[in-house]
Chains A and B, each alone.
Chain A
């Protein structure tokens, strides 16, 4: 009964979405006020019904109702309760339901938190949200309903894929979806602005915090995925340039460009059409990502069971969204004048550089990801693009981005004197060159060319941002002044600094781990020792260890640094009772400056094991960098001007708004 309620709620959600897509928009065009005021209640209604649908599915999982096909495929009575809940989005149907639920949640949040927006704008934004929701709800109901029944009812479910029985992966998809779907808000704002023909600084100010919040979720989601892959897959890698990973990275890259471009549009009224285009592309790449993940057109190590028919549906939807929004753009954008002139040496130029580099990198990742499809379409053979290619592309572009990142925040809007800029930054520059020289010494660089470059770039970011912060504080009186700044309009500034420091920390992590990591496959008998990167691994043997829903072989290792024992590790090789699927559970001794990592391979007889040992210096800095970026984004969103903007009535803001 309950699954049927869920199904009906889903259908009602679709009906509401259809109304939401049509009436408020029509009302905003014809000036019909009652139709426009329908937008907010409809958004709340859609959210309510999808919440009911989602709750019904959660209930089916918690009670192990295997008469529901999706539950039988993804759950098991032995599964711990927390994973019964996360199993809701462990498969295609449930993740799609989570996607539409989040979509409705963002819509409801926009409805609730933008009280001061002109009614026509909110009506259009929510209508566009409704259109996207219609697409996804149709997709869910027609090709992948999670409420389908199964008869005869099996006594036991097939179990959740063991790889997904993990805390990191339980929260990774929700975070990622929040990010993906959050970009739809930026998209809706852009489309609404195109429809209304009003692209100004006020529009940028409205959509900026939403974009930043979506970007924060996306950042956390990607970092969680990377962290999960690192400890759960047992390969010790943190990024594989796999199509599925690229699918999440592309919207992030585009979203980052969009965030920076929105800053220019808000402050200076420039880059308007460009910003709109970025918003369209960022969300389109989210959709493309969904298509790539769900259709199975690309070989991926992360690929789960896929269905070409579903791929076709998303592809058609994708074409409609991209085609429709670009057509609208081509029709309306020429009417938008480009305000805000600026000189070659200015913050606008630096941000333009940032945008071009991010877009270039996105295009490269997109090309590398789709190259196998392109080759196959032209009958040039079946290829795969090796990850060294992606690494090369990243390493080729990243230094320019880092250099620019040190200059941009120090430059003035509109026009800056090269002399003044050089005077501000020369100390930071000199110190970075010093770091470069020191790190080039063989005792630090270990003969790796990229070590001094990477560390010097990180140092450049650190020193230039210290300079920028110092300059800002010069005009604030002491600590109290700083506190007042932090309470007031300074948060977006400090958020920016925090996020940029995240980039520096990330660069250090990537540089160190890529150049100094150690990895070895060895065969060890109980009592054997093996040395790697100065650490001695002693294998004491493996024994059987039962778990709640699996059997495991648990290895026992002691790790020594010289004569001192620094860690005791218990890596496992598990075999899950539900599906009989084997899985490696690596053991990690985490540290701020290095991880030590052991994963069991196979039992090769007589108590001997084939296993893999790793030394991963500074690997945590990669995720620490991502955390700082996300923190920076959160800090920026909490800036007072977004809070007060909610209370204040919005007349078009400031002089930069003027449509020159």
Chain B
């Protein structure tokens, strides 16, 4: 009997532990996920206004502008159907550049500008974040491949 009771205690503790852990984990998850929206969806106002989300696409050529403070940059992100202006303060990842795929995480301001807290870096020139690839596929626009594959000039985005 005693051995059996002990086993029951163990099993009970384990189940309780798993239950508590699972509920805590799921609650915490709700406040820590960021949904992805394409520029088209953002322009159609499908995005949340009070939460952090991600937006991705290609950086439009000739839109990368550095602000006078030297740290803030602005650029447009497009899925070739709609365009979202993005503002980011900080150091951009090495492989960031015009015509390149990008994913930015942040929230949208009252002025319609997307204020990014984080700009996703990648390690490899030929890598395209899957969300961005999907977005571009949905937009069904020719010439995407050319824009994507376009080789990066030495020195990258800044020069």
Are A305 and B71 in contact, with the CB atoms below 8 A?
no
Nearest residue, chain A, Cβ from B157: A602
Bound complex: CA A297 to CA B18 (Å): 28
Is B3 a contact partner of A384 (Cβ separation < 8 A)? no
Q: Which residues of A contact B (CB under 8 A)?
A: 161, 163, 233-234, 296-299, 301-306, 341, 343-344, 352, 356, 360, 364, 367-368, 371, 375, 381-386, 388-389, 392-393, 396-397, 521-523, 551, 575, 577, 579-584, 599, 601-604, 608, 610-612
Known contacts A384-B36, A385-B33, A602-B158; is-contact A360 B21 (Cβ 8 Å): yes
Chain A residue numbers with a CB within 8 Å of B91 are: 521, 599, 601-602, 610-612
Do A386 and B10 touch across chains, with their CB atoms under 8 A apart?
no
From B33, which residue of chain A is reached at the shortest CB distance? A383
- Contact status A580-B151, CB under 8 Å: yes
Q: Which residue of B lies closest to A603 (CB)?
A: B158
Q: A384-B36, A384-B105 are in contact. List 20 more A-B contacts (CB 8 A).
A: A161-B124, A299-B103, A299-B129, A303-B122, A303-B123, A304-B124, A382-B36, A383-B34, A385-B32, A388-B32, A392-B32, A523-B70, A523-B71, A577-B154, A581-B152, A599-B91, A601-B91, A601-B92, A602-B92, A611-B91
* Residue with the greatest number of chain A CB neighbours at <10 A, chosen from B29, B36, B123: B123
A602-B35 Cα distance, complex, nearest whole Å: 30
Find out whether the CB atom of B36 lies under 8 angstroms from the CB atom of A608. Answer: no
CB contacts (< 8 Å) of B12 on chain A: these are none
- Check if B54 is an interface residue, CB within 8 A of chain A: yes
* A233 vs B6: C-alpha distance when bound (angstroms): 51
Contact (A305, B158) CB under 8 Å given A521-B90, A521-B91, A523-B69: no
Contact (Cβ within 8 A) A344 B92: no
Per CB-CB distance, the 7 closest pairs between chain A and chain B, nearest first, are: A602-B158, A523-B70, A601-B91, A582-B156, A389-B32, A382-B36, A580-B154
Chain B, residues 61-89, CB within 8 Å of chain A (1/0): the string is: 00000100111000000000000000001
Indicate whether A382 sits within 8 Å of B92 (C-beta atoms), given known contacts A301-B122, A371-B33, A389-B28. Answer: no
Shortest Cβ distance from A545 into chain B, in angstroms?
14
Judged by a CB distance under 8 angstroms, whether B159 is at the interface is: yes
- Which listed residue (B32, B123, B124, B158) contacts A386, Cβ 8 A? B32
| B44 at interface by CB-CB < 8 Å | no
With A356-B14, A364-B25, A604-B70 given, is the CB distance from A384 to B33 under 8 Å?
A: yes
* Interface magnitude class on chain B: 35 or more
Judge whether B33 and A299 touch: CB under 8 Å.
no
Q: Which of B71, B89, B157 has the most chain A CB atoms inside 10 A of its CB?
A: B71
Q: Decide if B126 is an interface residue (CB 8 Å cutoff).
A: yes
The reply to whether B154 and A551 contact each other, CB–CB distance below 8 Å, is yes
Q: Which chain B positions have C-beta within 8 A of A163?
A: 123
Contact yes or no, B123 A575, CB < 8 A? no
| With A522-B71, A601-B91: A303-B124 Cβ-Cβ less than 8 Å | yes
A138 CB to nearest chain B CB (Å):
26
Question: Could you say which of B6, B29, B34 has the most chain A C-beta atoms within 10 Å of its C-beta?
Answer: B29
Of the residues B70, B131, B152, B157, contact of A580 by C-beta under 8 Å: B152
Set of chain A residues within 8 Å of B139, measured between Cβ atoms? none
| Interchain CA distance A344-B3 in the complex, whole Å | 10
A440 to B51, CA, bound (A): 34
Assess the A582–B90 pair: CB atoms within 8 A: no
Q: Are B123 and A610 in contact (CB under 8 A)?
A: no
Binding site for A on B (CB under 8 A): 3, 6, 9-10, 14, 17-18, 21, 24-25, 28-29, 32-36, 54, 66, 69-71, 89-92, 94-95, 103, 105, 120-127, 129-131, 134, 151-159
Closest B residue to A344 by CB, please name it.
Answer: B6
Q: Name the one of A297, A393, A575 contacting B130, with C-beta atoms under 8 angstroms.
A: A297
Q: How far is the CB of A271 from chain B (nearest CB, A)?
A: 12
In angstroms, Cα B105 to Cα A385, docked, is: 12
**CB neighbours of B123 from chain A (8 A):** 161, 163, 301-304
Query: Once the chains are docked, how many angstroms separate the CA of A582 from the CA of B157?
Result: 9
Contact between B29 and A389, CB atoms less than 8 A apart: yes
Q: Interface centre among B29, B66, B70, B158, by most A CB within 10 Å?
A: B70
Contacts of B154 in A (CB 8 A): 551, 575, 577, 580, 582
CA distance A584 to B123 in the complex (A): 12
8 Å CB contact of A583 from B94, B122, B127: B94
Query: How many Å lie between the Cα of A306 and that of B134 in the bound state?
Result: 15
Complex contacts, A397 vs chain B, CB 8 Å: 21
* Nearest opposing residue in chain A for B156, CB measure: A582
Contacting residues, chain A, for B34 (C-beta < 8 A): 383-384, 386
The smallest beta-carbon distance between B82 and chain A, in angstroms, is 17
Report whether A364 and B21 are in contact in the complex, using a CB–CB cutoff of 8 Å: yes
Is A299 a contact partner of B131 (Cβ separation < 8 A)? yes
Output the least CB separation between A264 and chain B (Å).
14
Residues of B contacting A384 with CB < 8 Å?
A: 33-34, 36, 54, 105
Q: Give the distance in Å from the alpha carbon of A386 to the alpha carbon of B3 in the complex.
A: 44
CB-defined A-B contacts under 8 Å, sample of 12: A299-B130, A304-B124, A384-B54, A389-B33, A392-B32, A521-B71, A521-B89, A575-B155, A575-B156, A584-B94, A602-B157, A604-B66
Q: Which of B6, B17, B24, B103 contacts A356 (CB 8 A)?
A: B17
Cβ of A579: which chain B residues have Cβ within 8 Å of it? 125
Tell me if B121 and A301 are in contact (CB < 8 A).
yes
Residues of A within 8 A of B18 (CB): 360
Report B-chain residues with C-beta under 8 Å of the C-beta of A375: 33
| CA distance in complex: A476, B14 (Å) | 39
